[in-house]
Amino acid sequence: MIPKANNSEALVVLAQDAGLYQNLLNQLIKDFELSGLSIEFEESTSTEKLVLTLNNTIENLLQHHFDSYLQLLYRVDVPENSMQNKGVESVKEIAQKASFAILKREWQKVYLKNKFS
């Protein structure tokens, strides 16, 4: 069973505790690049900065490059039902929800690769 978290911050800490934080960063960067986007993280990026940078990037994509946002969700393979925005009122909340969905999917990829490689 893949370890789960309730929010982005907890998920990133979970990856860090499992020794897979750098793998998570690399997977994020890889999927952004495969989507024709760039996101930069330093190797020593803190968990808080990772979440903040991802949230800000997603918010920017939502507001200014919606097609790129959709392409990223497709590339990462975020389930469509996880992006239903019931009860979400602002772009910032949508960005936070999307960031968490992206991190969850990337965590699944990293965890399973590590477990079965």
CA distance 115 to 98: 26
Model confidence at 5, in pLDDT bands (50, 70, 90)? Answer: very high
Q: Which of 30, 33, 18 is nearest to 111 (CA)?
A: 18
Model confidence at 117, in pLDDT bands (50, 70, 90)? Answer: confident
Cα separations in angstroms, 76 against 17, 87, 89, 96: 23, 24, 24, 16
CA distance 83 to 19: 28
Cβ-based neighbours of 44, under 8 Å, separated by 6 or more: none
Q: The pTM is what?
A: 0.93
Q: By CB neighbour count within 10 A (0-12 exposed, 13-18 middle, 19+ buried), where does 17 fall?
A: exposed
**pLDDT tens, 10-32?**
999 999 999 999 999 999 999 99
Neighbours of 87 (CB within 10 A): 7
CA distance 71 to 56: 17
Model confidence at 70, in pLDDT bands (50, 70, 90)? Answer: very high
**pLDDT tens, 31-55?**
999 999 999 887 778 889 999 999 9
Residue with token string 């019931």:
86
